[in-house]
Structure 1
Amino acid sequence: MSPYRFLTYNEMFDYLTTSYDNPTLLNYINHKNEYESISVIEFKEKVICLCAALQKLGIKKSTKVAIFSSSSPFWLIFDFALQQLGAISVPIFANISTKNLNFELEDSNCEFIFIDDIERIDDIKKQMTVITHNFCIKKDNYYNLDEILVMGKEICDRLEYIENKPNEDDIFSIIYTSGNTGTPKGVVLTHKNIISQLKDINEVIHLNEKETILSLLPLAHIFERAVMSYYLSRGVSIYFVDDITNVANLMKSVRPTMMTVVPRLLEKIFNKIKTNISDKPIVSRVIGSLAFRFALLEDIDKNSFLFKLFDKIVYSKFREIFGGRIKWVVSGGAPLEKNIYQFFLNIGIPLYQGYGMTEFSPVISTNYPGANRVGSSGKAMPTAEVKIEDDELLVKGPSLMKGYLNNEELTKKAIDTNGWFHTGDVASIDEDGYIYIQSRKKDIFKTSTGEYVNAIPIEQNLSKNKYIEFAVVISHNQKYTTALLFVDHERYEQQKSSNLTIEEYYNQSAIHKSIQEHIDKLNKTVNKWEKVIRYKLITKLATIEGGELTPSMKVCREAIEKKYEKEIQSMYRSLK
């Protein structure tokens, strides 16, 4: 494996386009519902032509340009073209709320925007030059990607294009946090930040160019942006998911060898397996249930007759869900429950949990082949330094951001005078260097009686009930713990009766009995002050536009507590 000698994203582009000749580098589903490929050569040509066209439109060094698009090869082509000019890309989630969209455009002072969804055009309030993809608008300052690519080729043929050569301390991108703690923060990342990540990832993963990737997470999220950059640096074949609801089908057709996922996908697969077993005929159901419970054990003897039997008749079928060729499944973005982690490892899915933050470009630590400890977030990346101070994880290294855009005060608060970034996560590090994240500091609440409640594990447990999509624990400055339980709309749609509304469906005594029994079981495992005394079912769909969720599908606790203030207050009225 040749060493990485590049220092900037532009040099990485040169490395990719001169080291590999993969004919299926980037693959997307076209209008015929078939995968169409873009080779390394075609990728390079499109980037250079687009770069020339964008320069003609007025984009130059330090121009800030928003990429407001779903993930695809064209997202990458546009981003790499900006990098060639020294412009600064500002990725924006395709499903962002209108409020946060316009905040990010104004805060970053973007002058141009690339957009692929005509339905979101009217949401853009800022006056700017618009470059569209998959649709055309005939107005001043509106251009279509396909048209300007043609213009760019003519400019390149006349050799009138001037490339910018950034240095490693120049700004690579401004990436906004998802906003689950309030207003999104613009994280300023340099070329050095992102390249240090690629080199670190390469040390622990070691992909060869024959691998097949299925990409399903948004490129506006730094997690997928970083691993995508690594994929490109290895010249592998990347297949984009067209719709998140199509992931199950594409895993079987693409048969990937690597995927990066968020825990929610693994939780859905885990629960789907469990449900499917319960729907089997009696003999298959008994065998499946035994195999399922066996796979939850921590210390399985994989040489035992029982394991080999289950592996042949049950686990092999589970692995086919992922396509049957998977070598790496990397989970990040949120904590993964230990029993789910253990389950997938035991059935033969090579799962590795990592941990990071946008401010660190983002990977701080990860498990990897040869160093995989269930329940941990792995070991620190090769160039990352970590330590625990007052139970909080601190980190520093070349991947650490330049700072928060337009917020010097917040930057100074986050990064101390010795260069340590304060993550806000309560954690521990064992003697072998594995990092264990206990909770976000903001998710540990103090009751009115002075006791501390760690909300995350309680919420994860509550969400295991088949009727609950997610839970929000309430206990801060309260005399006891309660919970808002957001119901599973998918279950209602699958099982609803024509004469029952969702409110009526979830008001059935059998459902409340199931939920209460689940809570009673949970309450036996927690401290007295952590017991969930009351709950409220929330049947209204949680949405990004409504403020309950971030574009990366994280829960906005603050927004939910404000929105459902009356429901919360009702849970603290005097108990009869």
Structure 2
Amino acid sequence: MSSIPALLRDRIAATPDAEAYRTPSEGGWTSLTWREVGERVRGLALGMAALGAGPGRRVSILCSTRLEWILTDLAVLATGAATTTIYPSNTAAESAFVINDSGSTLVVAENDEQVAKLRSVRAELPDVTKVIVIDGKASDDGWVVPLESVSDEGGGGYDAMVDAIGPGDLATLIYTSGTTGRPKGVELTHDNWLYAAGAVRELDIISPADLHFLWLPLSHSFGKLLEVVMIDIGVPTAIDGRLDRIADNLGELSPTFMAAAPRIFEKIHNTVVATVQREGGVKLRIFEWARRTGVRVSRARRLGAPVPLTTRAEYALADRLVFAKLRQRFGGRIRYFISGAAPLSKDVAEFFDAAGLTILEGYGLTESSAGSFLNRPESVRFGSVGLPLPGTQVRIAGDGEILIGGRGVMRGYHGLPEETAEALEDGWLHTGDIGELDSAGRLVITDRKKELIKTSGGKYVAPTYLEGRIKAACPYLSHVFVHGDRRNYVTALVTLDMDVVRPWAESESLPTDPEELRGHPRMREEVDKAIRQVNAEQASYATVKKFAILAQDFTVETGELTASLKIRRKAVEERHAETLDGFYASP
């Protein structure tokens, strides 16, 4: 196979009338077959080629996750051009940087709001000849044209364009948001994506009989990988990127699997736990008993140990009283979830597995086409990211850094030869993550190489591990930031998940204003209890000695989170320097 458009063409030939995509419509969902997808992609590709898209060109997509994102992406690729992805949450200045750095000459914008963003920096976009708007109107000056006017239904030459694309041709430029520094454009070829999709197919964990629910940002490499995987295997995908619709969509669609970032699983876990804690009494006792029982069964299953008859009977009751209701929230057909993009708390993973909702945690970087490791359903180890995908090589350097090799590794950073040489030293991708391989060859990640805390006493502390444990121990928390590099002890900033904490606060007659609530003794007691619980399992130098509850959550808009919801550590330290310094001020 030479390219993603060729892969799509083969999929259409193999299963033309099978469902490809399902998208929200008035009063329900509308389906498209692979044949219909092919027709729309062909028309768009010919129309974009007429506007100048073609080999050696780049087209930026500034849009949320929806069907049109995928259709325009596939059309861009069919012309021989490469897609540059931009998060819809990016500012006008950030969008302009990506467009200019990538050399994009066309931009696909979702709506008039995104067009206005581009217009505000139009003087900085001299090479952009057209903006194609999905939901919007043409502009009087001709710079903006609606998507429906771009399609060329009668033109020819589509197959010739597709046949001219080679596996080594650039397919995607994805700009890493990064926890520090300037974004870098990661160059991923058609072969990078074809390898990753083929490796997932080899695992034989997904089939055309599945229904995939996709809400992840397609601007992120994880979402992009899922797009290509579903074409390769022929899996129908229901698409809706609206975060506030995830729960409702799961109930309506009854998908068999879904991928998500850990924050989604944490929020579901925290909502469930906080709800039963608020109800208290018999319901809380039943829930805690069911959880303990489920965890016992989960651990025995993963160890291959027999489950006693009495425990099986107890689990059957726990399932009927608690777990079956939880599974029904997700439509009742989930075979497993896939988690990536950030570390998943072992406690949260074990809770879901106990409920019969196994989460397969995986690992990959944008620089490795998103997918490099994945836990297999038959050999899950929580706390690990599983075995390498077929064809991926792994080494652990002398300092513990994880090195990755294989066809999934990027071509390089766009226009940055020195950074490329550093990242691909000796032909291996240097991930910047620290980890180790267990006896079965599964990868366990301990932390980011550049994020390890070294206290003034010379002890190393892994902040993300502590952050995940504290969040799992207190359902009311949204984010935890552990601090202490070059300090004499470890401290933490925590933020509240107001969607979860507000009902509890109301039931306890506590203030619901975040500023008032964060200083209330009851709120501090809940956070302190969770931190003490986690501290009890740590060496003394790794225990959190002081903490502060912030009134506002970390957000992408304030710059404290990346677009993929990872904490920008430097930004948090700068924004909250006074609070952090106060932890260490002399009494």
Q: What TM bracket, shorter-length normalisation?
A: over 0.9
- Judged with a 3 Å threshold, the aligned counterparts in structure 2 of structure 1 residues 90 and 492 are, in CA distance, closer, same or farther, namely same
In the alignment, structure 1 residue 475 sits paired with structure 2 residue 484: yes
Following TM superposition, by how much is the alpha carbon of 1:88 offset from its aligned partner in structure 2, in angstroms? 0.8
Q: Which amino acid aligns with 1:549?
A: L
Q: Which amino acid aligns with 1:546?
A: T
For 1:311 and 1:492, locate their aligned partners in 2 and report how far apart those are by CA, in whole Å. Answer: 27
Paired residue for 1:76, among 53, 70, 85? 70
For each residue in 1:492-525, what CA deviation from the matched residue of structure 2 results, as whole angstroms up to 9, or x when unmatched? 5544689763211221121122222332333322
Q: Which residue in the other structure is 2:410 paired with?
A: 401
Once structures 1 and 2 are overlaid, which stretch shifts more, 460-469 or 373-382?
A: 460-469
**Partners of 1:386 and 1:395 within 8 A in 2:** yes
For 1:116 and 1:233, locate their aligned partners in 2 and report how far apart those are by CA, in whole Å. Answer: 27
Describe the SS at the equivalent of 1:370. helix
For each residue in 1:374-406, what CA deviation from the matched residue of structure 2 results, as whole angstroms up to 9, or x when unmatched? 221110111011111121111100111000111
For 1:574 and 1:389, locate their aligned partners in 2 and report how far apart those are by CA, in whole Å. Answer: 41
For 2:62 and 2:103, locate their aligned partners in 1 and report how far apart those are by CA, in whole Å. Answer: 14
Q: Which amino acid aligns with 2:489?
A: Y
Q: Which residue in the other structure is 1:3 paired with?
A: none
**Partners of 1:28 and 1:242 within 8 A in 2:** no
For 1:311 and 1:16, locate their aligned partners in 2 and report how far apart those are by CA, in whole Å. Answer: 40
Q: Which residue in the other structure is 2:255 paired with?
A: 256
For 1:184 and 1:452, locate their aligned partners in 2 and report how far apart those are by CA, in whole Å. Answer: 28
For 2:528 and 2:316, locate their aligned partners in 1 and report how far apart those are by CA, in whole Å. Answer: 38
Following TM superposition, by how much is the alpha carbon of 1:293 offset from its aligned partner in structure 2, in angstroms? 2.5
Q: Which residue in the other structure is 2:304 paired with?
A: none
Q: Which residue in the other structure is 2:367 paired with?
A: 359
**Partners of 2:479 and 2:553 within 8 A in 1:** no
Q: How does 1:319-358 map to 2 (within 5 A)?
A: 319-358=327-366
In the alignment, structure 1 residue 16 sits paired with structure 2 residue 16: no
In the alignment, structure 1 residue 286 sits paired with structure 2 residue 288: no
In the alignment, structure 1 residue 61 sits paired with structure 2 residue 55: yes
In the alignment, structure 1 residue 447 sits paired with structure 2 residue 455: yes
Q: Which amino acid aligns with 1:481?
A: V
Following TM superposition, by how much is the alpha carbon of 1:193 offset from its aligned partner in structure 2, in angstroms? 0.7
**Partners of 1:72 and 1:240 within 8 A in 2:** yes
For each residue in 1:50-99, what CA deviation from the matched residue of structure 2 results, as whole angstroms up to 9, or x when unmatched? 11111111222111110111112211111111111100100111222444
Q: Which residue in the other structure is 1:140 paired with?
A: 142
**Partners of 1:302 and 1:308 within 8 A in 2:** no
Describe the SS at the equivalent of 2:60. strand
**Partners of 1:296 and 1:339 within 8 A in 2:** no
For 1:239 and 1:320, locate their aligned partners in 2 and report how far apart those are by CA, in whole Å. Answer: 18
Describe the SS at the equivalent of 2:300. coil
Q: Which amino acid aligns with 1:348?
A: G
Following TM superposition, by how much is the alpha carbon of 1:570 offset from its aligned partner in structure 2, in angstroms? 1.6
Q: Which residue in the other structure is 2:423 paired with?
A: 414
Paired residue for 2:575, among 530, 554, 563? 563
For 1:368 and 1:345, locate their aligned partners in 2 and report how far apart those are by CA, in whole Å. Answer: 14
For 1:548 and 1:22, locate their aligned partners in 2 and report how far apart those are by CA, in whole Å. Answer: 46
**Partners of 2:57 and 2:103 within 8 A in 1:** no
Q: Which residue in the other structure is 1:7 paired with?
A: 2
Describe the SS at the equivalent of 2:161. coil
Q: How does 1:164-313 map to 2 (within 5 A)?
A: 164=162, 165-280=164-279, 282-297=281-296, 298-299=299-300, 301=307, 303=309, 304-313=312-321
Q: Which amino acid aligns with 1:333?
A: A
Once structures 1 and 2 are overlaid, which stretch shifts more, 190-199 or 324-333?
A: 324-333
Q: Which residue in the other structure is 2:155 paired with?
A: 155
Q: Which residue in the other structure is 1:43 paired with?
A: 37
Describe the SS at the equivalent of 1:547. coil
Q: Which amino acid aligns with 2:147?
A: L
For each residue in 1:210-252, what CA deviation from the matched residue of structure 2 results, as whole angstroms up to 9, or x when unmatched? 2211111111111121122111222222111241111111111
Paired residue for 2:515, among 499, 503, 509? 503
For 1:368 and 1:255, locate their aligned partners in 2 and report how far apart those are by CA, in whole Å. Answer: 22
Describe the SS at the equivalent of 2:351. helix
For 1:160 and 1:375, locate their aligned partners in 2 and report how far apart those are by CA, in whole Å. Answer: 47
Q: Which amino acid aligns with 1:474?
A: H
For 2:131 and 2:92, locate their aligned partners in 1 and report how far apart those are by CA, in whole Å. Answer: 17
For 1:512 and 1:166, locate their aligned partners in 2 and report how far apart those are by CA, in whole Å. Answer: 59
Q: Which amino acid aligns with 1:526?
A: Q
For 2:241 and 2:532, locate their aligned partners in 1 and report how far apart those are by CA, in whole Å. Answer: 42
Paired residue for 2:23, among 25, 28, 31? 28
For each residue in 1:91-112, what CA deviation from the matched residue of structure 2 results, as whole angstroms up to 9, or x when unmatched? 1112224443222112112111
Mark the runs of 5 or more structure 1 residues left unpaired by the alignment.
1-5
- Judged with a 3 Å threshold, the aligned counterparts in structure 2 of structure 1 residues 513 and 48 are, in CA distance, closer, same or farther, namely same
**Partners of 1:344 and 1:350 within 8 A in 2:** yes
**Partners of 2:293 and 2:314 within 8 A in 1:** no
Once structures 1 and 2 are overlaid, which stretch shifts more, 189-198 or 361-370?
A: 361-370
Describe the SS at the equivalent of 1:153. coil
For 2:246 and 2:308, locate their aligned partners in 1 and report how far apart those are by CA, in whole Å. Answer: 30
**Partners of 1:426 and 1:439 within 8 A in 2:** yes
Once structures 1 and 2 are overlaid, which stretch shifts more, 331-340 or 98-107?
A: 98-107
**Partners of 1:214 and 1:256 within 8 A in 2:** yes
For 2:158 and 2:512, locate their aligned partners in 1 and report how far apart those are by CA, in whole Å. Answer: 67
Once structures 1 and 2 are overlaid, which stretch shifts more, 487-496 or 468-477?
A: 487-496
Describe the SS at the equivalent of 1:443. coil
For 1:98 and 1:555, locate their aligned partners in 2 and report how far apart those are by CA, in whole Å. Answer: 22
For each residue in 1:241-282, what CA deviation from the matched residue of structure 2 results, as whole angstroms up to 9, or x when unmatched? 241111111111100012111111111222222223334474
TM-score by length of 2: 0.92
For 1:281 and 1:399, locate their aligned partners in 2 and report how far apart those are by CA, in whole Å. Answer: 50
**Partners of 2:45 and 2:158 within 8 A in 1:** no
- Judged with a 3 Å threshold, the aligned counterparts in structure 2 of structure 1 residues 350 and 467 are, in CA distance, closer, same or farther, namely closer
Number of residue pairs matched by the alignment: 564
Q: How does 1:460-471 map to 2 (within 5 A)?
A: 460-463=468-471, 464-471=473-480
In the alignment, structure 1 residue 376 sits paired with structure 2 residue 384: yes
Describe the SS at the equivalent of 1:133. strand
Once structures 1 and 2 are overlaid, which stretch shifts more, 320-329 or 45-54?
A: 320-329
Q: Which amino acid aligns with 2:554?
A: A
Following TM superposition, by how much is the alpha carbon of 1:407 offset from its aligned partner in structure 2, in angstroms? 0.9
For 2:221 and 2:339, locate their aligned partners in 1 and report how far apart those are by CA, in whole Å. Answer: 14
Following TM superposition, by how much is the alpha carbon of 1:318 offset from its aligned partner in structure 2, in angstroms? 1.7
For 1:208 and 1:541, locate their aligned partners in 2 and report how far apart those are by CA, in whole Å. Answer: 39
Q: Which residue in the other structure is 1:486 paired with?
A: 495
Q: Which residue in the other structure is 1:542 paired with?
A: 554
Q: Which residue in the other structure is 2:79 paired with?
A: 85
Describe the SS at the equivalent of 2:538. coil
Over the matched positions of the two proteins, sequence identity in percent amounts to 26
- Judged with a 3 Å threshold, the aligned counterparts in structure 2 of structure 1 residues 415 and 499 are, in CA distance, closer, same or farther, namely closer
Following TM superposition, by how much is the alpha carbon of 1:296 offset from its aligned partner in structure 2, in angstroms? 3.1
In the alignment, structure 1 residue 106 sits paired with structure 2 residue 128: no
**Partners of 2:45 and 2:78 within 8 A in 1:** yes
Mark the runs of 5 or more structure 2 residues left unpaired by the alignment.
302-306
Once structures 1 and 2 are overlaid, which stretch shifts more, 496-505 or 132-141?
A: 496-505
For 1:264 and 1:459, locate their aligned partners in 2 and report how far apart those are by CA, in whole Å. Answer: 12
**Partners of 1:447 and 1:476 within 8 A in 2:** yes
TM-score by length of 1: 0.93
Following TM superposition, by how much is the alpha carbon of 1:206 offset from its aligned partner in structure 2, in angstroms? 4.2
In the alignment, structure 1 residue 392 sits paired with structure 2 residue 401: yes
